[in-house]
Amino acid sequence: MRQQRRRRRLDTAVDDGLIRRNPCRIKGAGQEKSPERPVLTIPQVYALADAVGDRYRALVLLGVFGSLRWGELAALRRSDIDFQARTVWISRQLSEQRGGGFAFGPPKSDAGHRTVAIPSVIRPDLASHIVTFAASGDDGLVFTSSAGRPLRRSNFCRRNWHPTLRATGLPPIHFHDLRHTGNQFAADEGANLRELMDRMGHSTTLAALAYLHGSDERQQAIADALSSRAAAELNRPKARPSGTQRARRRGTAS
């Protein structure tokens, strides 16, 4: 039973691109090492969003700043987005079927059903996208192909993603690295383990722990923050004693 739980957790890590293969299923598991997935900078994210074109600009930005999977993005409906609350409700995902069909189904786990807060900075892009490109009606898909069909990952990558990477000069990253980037952004801003798990839609700590590693820049930022706090406390002017306090001191001295 314990081995089965471990295997399921590692399957989740494979799905999220954190490791290439499940070491429980391969020979020489103890030697398995996975390369570090790339994390984009914010200027790189916006360079991608600018270059991919108007139809898919919001797809890129929400993939990063919402930390959403491809299937979750492809399944979003108009009614899943609450602009007043600045949230996106994730309740399903789109899967491509062999033979060319599509199927909408529930997230991979109960934790996948979640509400994700989105930054205000991308709200104008998302609102403009819905007005211009989303399918009509509350159940209309937010993101579709140019023909109004559900998105197919292979077509999107061939027609849009790979040409965009070449145009921006970025390395050949995967679309899933947008989610990875967003997860790291959240961790860098101080999200704790529970908050990362909720945002990512995971019921175990395995995937979220990958983003809570230290870095030289983060350690320096912590040291600078401590220095600023100490300096502020030491430089704070001492409060002058009140008249009553001064009188008491004179009385004590006499």
**Could you list the active site residues?**
69, 176, 179, 202, 211
Q: Which residue has the tokens 């108007």?
A: 54
Determine the distance from the C-alpha atom of residue 155 to the mean position of all C-alpha atoms in its chain, rounded to a whole number: 24
Alpha-carbon dihedral sign for residues 16, 142, 118, 86: negative
Q: How many residues does this entry show for the chain?
A: 254
CB atoms within 10 A of CB 24: 15
Q: What sign does the CA torsion over 125, 131, 136, 138 have?
A: positive
Q: Which residues pair with 87 in a beta bridge?
A: 82, 117
| H helices present in the chain, as ranges | 2-15, 42-52, 54-65, 70-75, 123-132, 153-156, 162-168, 176-188, 193-200, 206-209, 216-235, 243-253
